[in-house]
Amino acid sequence: MRLFVVLVLLYPCISRAQDDTVMLRGLSVYHGSEDLRFPVLVRKVDSEGKPVGKYGQITVQFDIVAIHPPSLKIQFWHCNRDWKPDENLFVTDQNHNTSFYLEYVDSPGGVEGYRYRYVNKFPDDGNAVRFDYSGNWIFRITDRKEALVLGEGRFFVVDDVVTPAVTVTNQYLTANTSPLNQIQEVTARITLPQEIDAPYFTTVDVYQNRRLYNPYRIDEWDRDSYTMVKGQATGVRTFSISNILPGNEYRTLDLSNTTRYPNKSLVRAIEGVDQIRLYWRTGKDRDGTAALNKFGGLQSDYLEVLFRLDMTSTDYRSATSGGREIYIAGAFNFWNPGVEDKLYWNSDERAYVVQKLLRRGIYDYQYVAGVWNSRSAQVVNQDWVALEGNDWRTTNTYRVFVYYNDPRFGGFDRIVGYGIGESTQALPGSH
């Protein structure tokens, strides 16, 4: 199932609604009040997995283009480990999974990219929305009749039952040729509450930076030669995966300065056209985040941004083999490129281009090769290194989630452990 199908509706020639049209822009989800924080809640629980005490809130923020404040609602669903919503009414409480009353404020004077800003936190203080069980969660923003889906998002709720010790090491994978032989190995070691529960602790997912739609899975029963689970009958489990490509540091675009990039002007990066980076590295990135300008004044408006990729002097046939095309991925589309993110050749620019409407801020982004599958509404056969390069000196953040298949209510997936590992530029060994 593809999420964020209509995550952000970007209409380059429209800034204000002309009729009853409602458009959503700039959707983001994060922990607490800082938009750079990862969207995860970690909480203490009782023996039944119910939360004990307060454990923070998830913030959902977005902008709306409409003549009048529309009647919107947000619904939340607990999902299994594959992000498929649970139909179990005991897990997703239909009486506490919807918010009909969303707070908003008018846009600042002079701003044309949106009319209303919505910032809402969940679980809310009135307890209208609550997350009774841990796991993968999605939300969906719709009109009151659910006839129009404006946006969707993902976040995590974790029961603090086990604490994974996460390590990241640089390795050479001798089966691959350079630069694909440079990999990062992620290992997570957990101590089980008791060995008798071991059959329920079989799966760990690993997320690189903010790529919430491309997890790496380590499962005790899979047949992947690059994953391993050790420690059976010892009370300890060690989950490892040994073929993660580190990629390159992300490209960064800073739109925060109104002098450099004035409002109402098409943005072409002053640094010039992007180049393929297969064999060269760039500076430190922001680990896939977006630092958005604070709400207030003309500095919180949107800009038309023309991304340009020059491939005229490079043989890129290997990147586009198998019918693959070029897409852009970044914090503005949750690192989940869609059909609207495809680059096209522009003879005037002498480059492949795509135009995006972005709120002022600082964005990480990169180019991805892939094939658009209209049936699944996804970019498949993705290649994240064919245009960007691959180097173990790239620093990445890896987040590890430990799943527990709770046998109650016919069975459902909880997350009972969360750990973070950082890669380093230490000299690799061989693998």
Question: Is a pLDDT exceeding 80 seen at residue 431?
Answer: no
**Could you read off the pLDDT of 386-412 as tens digits, one per residue?**
999 999 899 999 999 999 999 999 999
Identify the DSSP state of 20: S
Is the predicted pLDDT of residue 121 greater than 80, yes or no?
A: yes
Please say if the pLDDT value at position 10 is more than 50.
no
User: Averaged over 353-364, what is the pLDDT?
Assistant: 97
| 2 pLDDT more than 70 | no
Token couple for 355:
């135009």
Judge whether 198 and 429 are in contact, CB under 8 Å.
no
Instruction: Give the 3-state secondary structure of 131-178.
Output: CCCCEEEEEEEEECCCCCEEEEEEEEEEECCECCEEEEEEEECCCCCC
User: What are 66-102's pLDDT values in tens digits?
Assistant: 999 999 999 999 999 999 999 888 898 888 999 999 9
The structural architecture, per CATH, of the domain 165-247+393-430 is: Sandwich (2.60)
| pTM score | 0.92
67's tokens: 């003549």
Q: Please tell me the predicted confidence (pLDDT) of residue 71.
A: 94
Q: Which of 162, 158, 154 is nearest to 135 (CA)?
A: 158
203-239: pLDDT as tens digits = 999 999 999 999 999 999 999 999 999 998 899 999 9
| Cβ-contact 179, 391 below 8 angstroms | yes
Selected from 3.40.718.10, 2.40.30.10, 1.10.357.10, 2.60.40.1930, the CATH number assigned to the domain covering 23-159 reads 2.60.40.1930
Domain boundaries defined on the chain: 23-159, 165-247+393-430, 251-383
Given this model, what pLDDT does residue 73 score? 96
Kindly indicate the confidence band of residue 16, based on its pLDDT and cuts at 50, 70 and 90.
Answer: very low
3-state secondary structure 397-428: EEEEEEEEEECHHHCEEEEEEEEEEECCCCCC
| pLDDT value of residue 127 | 86
Question: Does residue 216 contact residue 205 with C-beta atoms inside 8 Å?
Answer: yes
pLDDT tops 60 at residue 430: no
23-159 and 165-247+393-430 agree in CATH topology: yes
